[in-house]
Structures are given as C-alpha cells and as structure tokens.
A and B are shown apart, each in its own frame.
Chain A
Amino acid sequence: MHPFDYVAATSIAEVNSILAQHGNRARPLVGGTDLLVQLRGGRFDLDAVVDIKGVPEANVLELNGALKMGSAVPLAVMYEDQAVRDAYPGLIDCAELIGGIQIQSRASMAANLCNSTPSGDTICPMIVHSAQVNITGANGDRTVAVEDFCTGPGRNVLEDGEWVLDIVFPAPASGFGAAYERFIPRNEMDIAVAGAASSVTLDGSGKITDALVALASVGPTPVFVTAITDLLVGKEPTEENFVAAGKIAYDAVSPISDMRGTIEQRRHLSGVLTRRTLTKATERAKAG
C-alpha cells in the first residue's frame, strides 16, 4: 500500500484546505470500511486521508420537519434515534441491513453514496425520499439531488477538492410511506444481487399522488425508474398496478451477469422487489 498521511480535521475549512492541497490524491475518511479496503487492495493510491468525523457540521443529526444528516453520522447512530426511526422507516430498512453491526457502527449514508457503487444499499432509499446532497469545497457550496449524484460505477459528480457535508431529507408528506428491500442469497454480510426502494404518497381517498422507485445493482448507477411514477400517479395502490410497475422495472434495468447474479435473475428480482416494496411502502403510507 502506498503510504499516506492521516489528518483528523476539526473544521470544514481544514478539510477544504487539505483536499485543495492534494487534488485527487486525498479523500475524506468516515467509516473506512470501503476506503481503507480499496487502498489496501491497490485500487488507487492516496497521499492523505482526511478524517471528517471531528467536524461538528458533519455530525449533525437534526430532525426538524426535514431531516439533516451530517456525512459522518454512522448508520447505527441514525437508526438508534427513535424519532428518526419513526419518521423514516424506509431509511432504517437499508441502514440495518448493511454489513454487520461492526460496519453499521462506522459507515455513513453519505459515504456509501460517495463510494457510488450501483449496489450501495442506502442510495436508492435516499432517491425515493427525494434527498438533496449538500456539497462543499474550497471553491464553494452546491446542492445536488441524490438521483443525479452517481455517474457510473464508483464515479460521481464530486470534483477534486469537493466533499459531501450533509444530506437533507424533506419532511415526509402526510400519506407518505417508503420501503427498501434487497435480495441476497444469505441473510447478512452480502452485496445486493438486486435491490429496490419505493415510496408512495396517498391522498385522502387513498389514491396515489406520487410514487418513486429506484433500483440497486441493476445498472452502472442506481436506476431511478420515472416511468413507474408516470404509471402509478392517479391510480389505486392495488396489487395489479404494482405488478405492472414491476414489469416496467424489469424492462427499465440494464444489469450485467457476474459472480453475484445473472442478467435474467436481476431483471426478474427487480420486478419482484419493486412490487414488494411498493406494497410495503403503501402499508406504511396508510399507517403513517
């Protein structure tokens, strides 16, 4: 492994300064569960890692209608917060199934997003919650919708010197529900063969006013299937409609065959998981 320096930053300015100094030879460190493994495996070399866990703004977990989640907040801290659990069960779904407890103690949603693998379990749930990513850096701040963040396997919109400070989740509208489910052959410690996140919003009469579906591990980036939104808005949340949504998902994805699954298996699972998560999201929407 190429030797690198470690900097425990305590302010946004300090992080910006280190990243600006090293360009693409420095990265922020949160959980280390991806970054350190990639460095050790020789995927890329760095001259410095900047630990952002000491930056107060990156540790914010603020539920005030909307949810603001700092990029260093570990999954476990998030899912142990009862108010967050109650308000965002669709986020808890993914947070509790990543890795084991050891990984959940360290990994954050934002870092999972920045790793930008198509299988990232938190990304699709964030998309269907319409989350916004606040990016900062020496050259200023900008905000990007989660669905626009990933640009390819392991690639994203971050420029050299930029990093994610926090992610903001809008307050769930009344009649909103969301769910995430992934398929793995085991029950833990696995990478999704395919995953689906769905959210639905129901009006007072029980009709769908909004429905968002995003799929993991079935394309070069998380796949946000807007055609399902077009299909479902204005309709009843019936099994039949959700089966139809699953068929759209089947056609919308562009998976590959690899050691974790085949193209056909992943297409099929995309359909099944779309239907299942829409059903679960609807149950939550009705209950919530």
Chain B
Amino acid sequence: MVATQEYKVIGTRPIRHDGLDKVTGRAIYGADVKLPDMLYGFVLRSPHAHARIRSIDTSAAEAMPGVVAVMTANDMPEAADELVDLGEGAINFSHASDHIMAMSKAKFKGHPVAAVAATSTNVAREAVAAIKVDWEVLKSAVTVDEALAPDAPVILDGWVGDDLGEKSTKPNVGSHFRHEFGDIEKGFADSTTIIEHRYDLAMVHQGYIEPHNGTAIWDQEDRVRLWTSTQGAFTVRTQLAGILQLDESRIKVTPTEIGGGFGGKIPIYVEPLAAILSKKSGGKPVRILMDRPEVFEATGPTPGGWVSVRLGVKDRKIIAGDADIRFDAGGFPGSPVGAAAMCVFSCYDIENTRIDGWDIIVNKPKTAAYRAPGSTHVAYAIECIIDEICEELDLDPIQFRLDNASKEGTRRGDGPIFPRIGNIETLEAARDSAHWNAPLDKNPGNGNVRGRGIANGYWFNVGLKSSVNLSVNTDGTVMLIEGSTDIGGTRASIAMQAAEVLGIRAEDIIPTVVDTDSVGYTDVTGGSRTTYATGFAAYKAAQNLIDELTARAATIWDIPEDEVVFEDGKFSSKSDPELSMTFKEIAGKLNETGGPVSSTGAVDLENAGGGFAVHICDLEIDPETGKTDVIRYTAVQDVGKAIHPSYVEGQMQGGAVQGIGWALNEEYFMSDDGQMVNSSYLDYRMPTSLDLPEIETVIVEVPNPIHPFGVRGVGEPPIVPPVAAIANAINDALGIRLREAPMNPGRILEALKEKNG
C-alpha cells in the first residue's frame, strides 16, 4: 500500500546534510570536545552490588600531584523529592541525585561514590584508585523473584511503592498496576483452547558504540555550560537543573554529535559530576568520558524479568487475554513496564483482557529506555503463544493473526481506542512477501536443520514538543535551526519536510542542531518522534514562512495579499500572469524590500499514531552444537510515509539486528554476588557483520491522518518482533520451545537433550 499523494522531495533519497562531516572524521562527538585549560575526570564506582558506605577517605587522592578536585556525594546539592515529567518518562530528583552519586549506600555494582578531576586521565584514574571506602557489604537481590522474596533485602531505604492503590507491603515493589476490560473469567470459561506460559528475559544493553561523556564549566557566576552527546539537550538541562539546584536559565547545554543512543542517552550520568568538579576547580572545564565497562555496569540497560501470558481462543478468535509483566527496574524504580502494558495485547482485538504490571527494584543498574521499551519483552511471550495456538489448532500463523488483528476502533489493552493503524496492511504485506512465499529446505543436507518464524510487534510512538526556526538566505536557501539531536539522519528527514512545503530542494535547506539557548524547547530524539514531531514543527515553520513571503510578494507587487498564491514553488498573482517569482527570486529581493524573513514552528503533539512491524526469519541450526545462524530475514513495517526511504530501511534493519542479538546471545551475565561479569564487547556478544545475512525490508505506507505527510514513528517497532520470530523459527526447526532469552547455543543444546532424552 502506497500513499497516493505525489511529492517532489519526500520519498527521495538525498545525501544527508551531516554526512560529509561524518565520513571524513570532522564531526565533533562528545569525546572530541577539548577546551582550553581542561581537566580530566574519572569516577570511583562501587565494586559491590549492594553495600553501605561507612566512610570515604579521599586524602591520598587529594595529595597526588596533578589532582585538582575530589568530590563525594557530600558535594551534591540537596535535590527535591518530587516527580518531574521528562516527556518520555519522569524523574524524581532526590532519586536522580542519589543515582548520580550514592549518598549512603551503593545499590548496584558501578554506582558512583566519588570522582576526581586532574591534569590527565591517567592521573585521575590513579587518584580514584587511591580513594579508600569502608564498605559494609549487604545481601543483594538481582532478579524480580529474588527482590519479591520474603527474605529480600531492602534496597531503597524509606521507599513505599504503590500496589493497586494501596501502600505496598513489600519493600522492593516500585509499583503494581492493573488494566482490566470485559469479563476475563467468563472469557476463559468460554474458551475452547487456553495456552499459558511464562517467558523470561535477561537484562540487555542498548550497546551504542560511543560511551557516555560530558564536559562542563561551572563558573563563578553560577552559570553552567555543558557539552555532551545526548538524545535531548533540553531534557539534560531539566535534569541538571534539578540535580544541581539551579534555574534552567543558568544552564546552557550544547549537544554534540551523538554516537548512538536507542533510549540510553536520555538520562544523564557523568554530566553533573563534571559540573561539580568544575566548580570545585574554580571554573576550569572538566571532561569525563566513560569507558566501556562503566557503560555496561552503570548506564541504563533495558530490564530483565518475566512476562506470563494466558490466551483463550474460541472459534479461531482470541476472546480472553491475561498478562502478568514483571520488570527489574534496577536500583531505583522506573522500568518501562507501563509501556509494556500498553503494547502486550495491541496487535489483537481481544474483548476480555487483564494486564498486571510490576516495577521491581533490584541491585542492578537503573534501567533506561531501549528502543520500544518493554514491547520486545511482551512480544516474546504473546507472539510465541500465538504460534503455539496456530500449531495446536493447525492454523496459518498469518491468517490467524489477520483474523484477530487490531484495527481502527479496537480498544487497546490499557484503554485507548485505536485510530487508523496499519496492522492488517502490514500482515498482508508479510503474507505476500517474496520471503514468506519462498520454500525453505528444512534439511539442507549438511547435518543442520532450518526453520522459519514470524512475529508481529507494536509500538505506540510519541509526539511531544518540538521547535524549528527558519530564515531565508538571499541566495534562495533556508537555514533550519532545530533542537533535535540527529542520531540517524533526522537533519535530512526534517529538512526534506520543510523543502517540500517551500518548493525547494532538500539540499537548499541547511539544517543545524543548536544548543538550549538558541531554539525553543524540544523534547528528546526518542519515542520515534523526531521525523514525526520535529518534522511537523518544520512543516509549520515552512507554512509560516510562506505566509511571510506571500505578504512580501504582495508588497513588492503592490497588490493585496489575498491576490498572491504560492503553488509549485512559485509566488504568483491570481489576476496578472506576468507577476511570478520563484522562491529563489523572492529570496534575492528580500533585503531591498523590507529586510530578512524568518519564521518559527512549534508543536506539542499529544498523539502520534502507532506502528506495526512483522518480521520473518529463517534460521539454520547445528543440532550438535546449538549454533544458530540467521540465513534470511525480512522486516515488514507500516511507516505511515517514508520521508527518506534509505534511512527508514536503515531503522528497520538496525532494529531487527539489535533484536537478533537480544534473541540469540546478548545478556547481563550476573555472578552470584550480583556483579555483571561480561561487561565488555568481547563477552557481551553483539552481532558482527559476519553473523548476519542481508536484512530485506518491505515498507508499508498507511498514512497517519494526524500528520501533514502521514508520517508514523519508524525507529522503535523493528526491535519488537525479532526475539519472538527467532523463538518461533527455532521451534519450527527443532520442535523445541525456548521460553528464556537469550536463546543461546547452550540453552538450545539443553532443550534438545531434554526433548531427545
């Protein structure tokens, strides 16, 4: 299905505006920031998963040559114990401050306890090693079940969570909520087939290649300047203001280029420490770069936990669904279990549903968003159970999904009614794809076996706030100023939307991502919102610019404004065909006819229009070793309208591959005393180029009616189906159901042994 409207710029594949700097090494990322007289910081972190700080002795570090400042949590301003909305998620500054540097107790291995600024990174590291901490090691709990056990340690002192509106009696319950519609008991009573299973997932990390970083100056007038690679400079400003107890207006955040985020670069970590060390150094700039183990051990992964789902079917219709979702939040509450609950039943139209969500505090790093946070977890459970139903009732897995598909008017499991969505069109495109219709030789003759799996996935996407400024150059080009950091080509996709309105080429828009002093508030590059919402702001700014230029044309021609029309990139008079100017021509006249023209566009979008992704996966498995290779993979997705198809495909491919890594090998491997023991790329085992085939893409375009070009968010849906698709392919190949991720060779071997005896 293809959107019918014809566009000149949208749907083409121009070279991205920031591309040249990124292929020549000129682009400045966070770690590339170097300021005069800069100091280098390093952080001392807890070696224990759960331990009380009896005392900290920094004297040896302070005495070392080259050390300029040393800080502990005593240097952190006292932050307010209140919840502040960050757009994608909320923050309690008291918790945030305790997270940035542990006040009295380390709640996970890697929890910061002190930091040093020195004249070189090596001196800072040596000084950190000289700080002595007297620890009282406490019992730790690293899984949901351990943290809910009767003898579980209290992780967050004084915390009382909400349990269905009551005060929780269990110390580590962050929250427990429920969504219930219809009559769940009757639904199951009426069902002729009921399948229920629990699916467990290990904690996994976003894995972006660029470690976190921050370079800060806190000067004598209490002004803070910060350079950092972040998904949202304004969100950093809000967090910094709360943690440092400064007015936002005293803080300027400059977002550098960012080396991947996937949700993990929304929270801040070292940034406040760099600022406080700067203040203690008399305002010298302080740069802190994390190393790779710090990134794994102390920055937000996505939760592990489990999802238990029960489905009831009658006459090929799912009539009852019950889900219990329990996520480990890390050392502070705030896992994406709410989002998981919004997604769990969203691919289906089920009359009777109940969803329980539990946010559980454990001694692991505080979780952060990771690409469609929570949705991959629930898709693993429900999409495998759907596959089991099809197997048991001998139904075609796509037809059964189509027969039960959610569509416009379906109530989502947490309440909202779906607007126009492309679930059915996406399933149909998968059914009609070359991949689904290609035969698979299940026994290729080399002793290996092959299998094919399919899964659906949903992500709701978000809208939120964005600002764009446009100004016209006399050569007919347009400067586009935006606050959305560009993680994967959004300068291009936003500029293209402005260019479409203005009737000029994408290359004639010059987009720049600026600091928080230089553009209106803009939410994070996350939630698959940037091309949608900042693109919408660019559309509005471009419309406003056309209005301004229309007035100017009227002035130039001395005719009433309503006599001027703008069509096909030209301003012209309705009555006098002689009067016509291209965008470029009028741009060239601006300085002589009243001066420069600029415009702004700002949006605050409550809704976004969700996206669906259906993935098809072929695996080849060595049954003797459990070795699994993906040999063919197709990602089908409703994107609303693909502004720049190459980068849309790139999102679909990248999300799919992150999901493949999650399914097969990635995990936080924890020791008995609660430590992550595989905190390196070597042992975390992300996919390499040699582990993958081509990732085929099928773009489906069901225009989003609330966006001027029909855009839906693209980035997140593609990570939702892979884990389930791979589980279903493993079952197709070997006849085993793996209900614990990662589904690595060891687990496959164990399951085969159990099956074959």
- Report which A residues bind B (CB closer than 8 A): 1-3, 42, 100, 183, 185-191, 193, 258-262, 265, 268-269, 272
Contacts and interface: CB of A to CB of B under 8 A. Distances in A.
A268 B749 contact: yes
B747 to A, nearest CB: 10
Nearest to B625: A183
Given A1-B122, A259-B683, A272-B624, A186 B749 contact: no
A100 B625 CA distance: 23
A185 B669 CA distance: 15
B670 to A, nearest CB: 9
Contact of B746 (A2, A189, A262): A262
Given A265-B746, A265-B749, A272-B624, A186 B683 contact: no
Contacts of A183: 625, 627, 745
A186 B746 contact: no
A261 B685 contact: no
Contact of A185 (B665, B677, B681): B665
A274 to B, nearest CB: 12
Contact of A190 (B629, B677, B682): B682
B691 interface: yes
Contacts of B688: 100, 186-189
B690 interface: yes
Given A100-B688, A189-B688, 20 more contacts: A1-B125, A1-B126, A2-B126, A183-B625, A183-B627, A183-B745, A185-B627, A185-B665, A185-B745, A186-B685, A186-B688, A186-B690, A187-B690, A187-B691, A188-B690, A259-B683, A265-B745, A265-B746, A265-B749, A272-B624
Contact of B683 (A191, A265, A269, A272): A191
22 contacts: A1-B122, A1-B126, A3-B122, A42-B129, A183-B625, A183-B745, A185-B665, A185-B685, A185-B744, A186-B688, A186-B691, A187-B629, A187-B690, A188-B690, A189-B681, A189-B682, A193-B745, A259-B669, A259-B683, A265-B626, A265-B746, A272-B624
A79 B682 CA distance: 24
A269 B122 contact: no
Instruction: Report which residue of B664, B685, B744 has the largest number of chain A beta carbons within 10 angstroms of its beta carbon.
Output: B685
A250 to B, nearest CB: 13
B687 interface: yes
Contact of B625 (A42, A262, A269): A269
Nearest to A266: B746
Interface centre among A42, A193, A265, A272 (most CB of B within 10 A): A265
Which of B681, B682, B690, B746 is most buried by chain A, counting CB atoms within 10 A of its CB?
A: B746
Given A3-B122, A259-B678, A190 B625 contact: no
Contacts of B678: 259
Contact of B682 (A187, A191, A262, A268): A191
Contacts of A189: 681-682, 688
A43 to B, nearest CB: 13
Contacts of A100: 688
Contacts of B664: 185
A260 B691 contact: no
Nearest to A42: B129
B358 to A, nearest CB: 27
Contact of A259 (B624, B625, B677, B691): B677
Nearest to A265: B746
Nearest to B671: A259
A34 to B, nearest CB: 11
Which of B122, B625, B690 gathers the greatest number of chain A CB atoms within 10 Å? B625
Contacts of B626: 265
A188 B690 CA distance: 7
A66 B681 CA distance: 38
Contacts of B669: 259
B678 to A, nearest CB: 5
Interface in B111-155: 122, 125-126, 129
Contact of A272 (B625, B682, B687): B625
Given A259-B677, A272-B625, A190 B690 contact: no
Contacts of B627: 183, 185
Interface string B671-711: 00000011001110101101100000000000000000000
Contacts of B125: 1
Contacts of B746: 261-262, 265
Nearest to A272: B624
A153 to B, nearest CB: 15
B522 to A, nearest CB: 38
B151 to A, nearest CB: 26
A42 to B, nearest CB: 8
A191 B678 CA distance: 12
A47 to B, nearest CB: 15
A73 to B, nearest CB: 24
B671 to A, nearest CB: 9
Contacts of A261: 746
A261 B690 CA distance: 21
- In this complex, which of A2, A188, A259, A265 has the most chain B Cβ atoms within 10 angstroms of its Cβ? A259
A269 B748 CA distance: 13
A255 to B, nearest CB: 12
A3 B746 CA distance: 42
Contacts of B129: 42
A268 B623 CA distance: 12
A145 B382 CA distance: 57
A81 to B, nearest CB: 24
Nearest to A276: B624
A265 B746 CA distance: 6
Nearest to B681: A189
A162 B179 CA distance: 70
A17 B262 CA distance: 53
Contacts of A262: 746
Q: Which of A2, A188, A189 has the most CB of B within 10 A?
A: A189
A249 to B, nearest CB: 14
A185 B745 CA distance: 6
Nearest to B670: A259
Contacts of B122: 1, 3
Contacts of A193: 745
Contacts of B677: 258-259
Nearest to A187: B690
B252 to A, nearest CB: 34
Contacts of A185: 627, 664-665, 685, 744-745
A188 B745 CA distance: 15
B682 A186 contact: no
Contacts of A191: 682-683
Contacts of B683: 191, 259-260
A2 to B, nearest CB: 8
